[in-house]
Amino acid sequence: MTPADHPAVLTKDKTHYCPGCSHGIVERLVAEVIEELDLCSRTIGVAPIGCSILIYDHLLVDFISALHGRAPAVATGIKRMRPDLFVFTYQGDGDIAAIGTAELVHAALRGENITIVFVNNTVYGMTGGQMAPTTLPGQLTTSSPTGRDSAVAGFAVRVAELVSSQDGPAYVARTTVADPKGVMRTKRAIEKAFRAQLLGLGFSLVEVLGACPTGLGLTPVDACAWVRDSMIPHYPLGEFRVHERLAGAALGA
């Protein structure tokens, strides 16, 4: 299947996302992988609070909306009752790394057989561009108007490293959709993460570095450049945990 084919589980309607928002790319990749792995009729998605709260209008599979940060726990409740279904969450910075950190870490620690797609764009988009736990030191946001001062506002959290340092995860990777190669690697990572669940290997997470042009106050093209130039040095790309049964090449190509 080429990117030229419109995935059947992806809406043909316009989305509410800002121009250039990385959510549009990531959701499409998730839709493509759901189709390619023949999961259309056995998937339940768990939606976050954040810009992607309306993901259930874009991805046309069964969905439940979770409260802020609770998606991994909601997914746990679903997967424990229906281990035969494919269960994934789609979450942003606040959901994963602020209010939901306990749920994230404990789902990983339990080796919960769910998959998390985490879009890291360093800001809280929906509420107007405030600082996130993933905001870089010195970065300007609406709640760090003079730049994030680590002395009082702390440091940026590396979720992929945090989670992969524990036993439980079967697959953890960090990729980016800020350039075409990154988009291809992100798709392969998502596919590997999905396979980890399908093989019953345990917890899987893909952290995708993306652009929030509105939150960053940049054009989409410049926002993608910022992701590559400023985010990647702090958030190195790669696979941090790969279960031995996940056959196949590394993401790079």
Partner 1 sequence: MSGLEKVLMKGNDAMAEGAIRGGCDAYFGYPITPQSEMLEYMARRLPALGKVFVQAESEIAGISMVYGAAAVGARAMTSSSGPGISLMQETISTLAAAELPAVIVNVMRAGPGVGGILPAQADYFQATRGGGHGDHHSLVLAPWSVQEAMDLTSLAFDLADKYRNPCMVLADGLLGQAMEPVVLEDREVAAPAKDWILTGAAQGERKVITTLRLDPEELEALNRRLEAKYAGLTPQEVRYSTHLVDDAEYLLVGYGTCGRVARSAVDELRAAGFRVGLMRPISLFPFPYEPIRALASQLRAVLVVEMSAGQLLQDVELAVQNRAPVHLVNRLGGIVPGADEIVLKLRELIQ
Partner 2 sequence: MIEVDKCKGCGLCVAFCPKGVLTLSEGINRSGYHPAEMRDDVEPSQCTACDICCRMCPDTAITVRRRPRR
Give the interface with partner 2 as residue ranges (CB under 8 A).
Answer: 2-4, 6, 10, 12, 14-15, 17-25, 28, 179-180, 183-184, 213, 219-221, 224
Please, what is the minimum distance in Å from the beta carbon of residue 6 to partner 1?
A: 13
User: What SS3 state is found at 89?
Assistant: strand
The two tokens of residue 132 are 């996130």
Please, what is the minimum distance in Å from the beta carbon of residue 224 to partner 1?
A: 30
Please, what is the minimum distance in Å from the beta carbon of residue 251 to partner 2?
A: 15
* Strand arrangement of the beta sheet that strand 238-242 belongs to: 43-47, 86-91, 115-120, 203-209, 169-176, 238-242
> Binds 75, which of partner 1, partner 2, none (CB < 5 to 8 A, cut-off by type)?
partner 1
The two tokens of residue 118 are 């985490």
Of 41-60, binders to partner 1 (CB under 8 A) are: 41-44, 46-47, 53, 56, 60
For residue 203, what is the enclosing H or E element?
strand 203-209
Tell which one of 23, 27, 58, 86 touches partner 1 (CB under 8 A): 86
- Compare residues 57 and 149 and give the one whose CB is closer to partner 2: 57
149 in Cβ contact with 174 (< 8 Å): no
- Compare residues 25 and 209 and give the one whose CB is closer to partner 2: 25
The reply to whether 64 sits near partner 1 by the rule CB under 8 A is yes
> Binds 245, which of partner 2, partner 1, none (CB < 5 to 8 A, cut-off by type)?
none
The reply to whether 250 sits near partner 1 by the rule CB under 8 A is no
DSSP 114-180: -EEEEEE-SEETTTTSEE-TTPPTT--BTTBTT---HHHH-----HHHHHHTSSSEEEEEEEE-SSH
What phi and psi values does residue 22 have, to the nearest 5 degrees?
Answer: -65, -20
d(CA 222, CA 216): 10
- From the list 104-112, 149-157, 163-171, 206-214, the region that binds partner 1 by CB under 8 A is 104-112
List interacting residues with partner 1 (CB under 8 A): 8-9, 40-44, 46-47, 53, 56, 60-67, 70, 73-78, 80-82, 85-86, 102-103, 105-106, 110
